[in-house]
């Protein structure tokens, strides 16, 4: 093998490795651009909606179970009440998450806004303060983006991305402040 061929192969490998490592940052930039342009279709390409909805439903259910466990220690009939509440509230939470996990809601989160049913409808045009955003690998195929308000670090949340294919990333879960 000639020296030129070795240099070309080495260069191609370095470029592919660089692209492989930079791919979540590229996906994040594309999502931000789509959110700023309010391009729901482009934003949707980077979101695994079924996985995100299931993750959020599991998080809310776990939080409710933890609250119910606290109540059970205080009251003898709390277990029955908690079971009844879970049966009634569970479908409401599922419907709420289905309504909230939309490209528009994710666009709001990408801009550091907290989506809720009321502000989803109004979409204010006033400029928002720029949130603090940090991004890092959590593994070879997992990438986390932490978004927080500049003056309130306690209300931060994480958006977790998983690799789909060799260079593509999709938002699959979120760690929201409860």
Q: Which spans in the chain are helix H?
A: 3-36, 40-44, 49-74, 78-100, 103-110, 117-122
Angle between helices 103-110 and 3-36 (to 10 degrees): 100
Task: Quick: pLDDT tens for 95-112.
Answer: 777 777 887 777 777 666
Q: What is the pLDDT along the chain (178 residues), one digit of tens a residue?
A: 799 999 999 999 999 999 999 999 999 999 889 888 888 888 889 999 999 888 988 888 777 777 766 766 666 666 666 667 667 777 777 777 777 788 777 777 766 676 665 555 554 455 566 778 889 999 999 999 988 877 766 677 888 999 998 889 999 998 877 6
Enumerate the domain spans of the chain: 3-175
Residue whose token pair is 């699959």: 172
CB–CB of 163/21 below 8 Å?
Answer: no
pTM: 0.72
The angle at the Cα of 93, spanning 88 to 99, to the nearest 5 degrees, equals: 135
- What is d(CA 39, CA 141) in angstroms, rounded to the nearest whole number? 26
Q: What was the pLDDT predicted at 119?
A: 53
Residues 143-175 pLDDT 10s: 999 888 777 666 778 889 999 988 899 999 988
């Amino acid at each position: 093998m000639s020296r030129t061929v070795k240099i070309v192969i080495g260069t191609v490998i370095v470029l592919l490795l660089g692209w492989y490592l930079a791919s979540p940052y590229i996906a994040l930039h594309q999502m931000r651009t789509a959110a700023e342009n309010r391009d729901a279709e482009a934003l949707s390409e980077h979101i695994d909606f079924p996985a995100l909805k299931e993750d959020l439903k599991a998080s809310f259910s776990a939080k409710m179970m933890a609250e119910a466990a606290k109540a059970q220690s205080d009251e003898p009939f709390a277990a029955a009440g908690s079971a009844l509440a879970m049966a009634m509230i569970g479908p409401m939470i599922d419907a709420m998450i289905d309504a909230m996990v939309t490209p528009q809601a994710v666009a709001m989160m990408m801009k550091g806004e907290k989506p809720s049913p009321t502000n989803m409808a109004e979409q204010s045009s006033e400029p928002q303060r720029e949130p603090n955003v940090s991004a890092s690998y959590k593994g070879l195929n997992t990438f986390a983006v932490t978004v927080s308000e500049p003056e309130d670090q306690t209300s931060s949340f994480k958006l977790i991305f998983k690799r789909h294919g060799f260079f593509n990333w999709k938002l699959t879960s979120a760690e929201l402040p409860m």
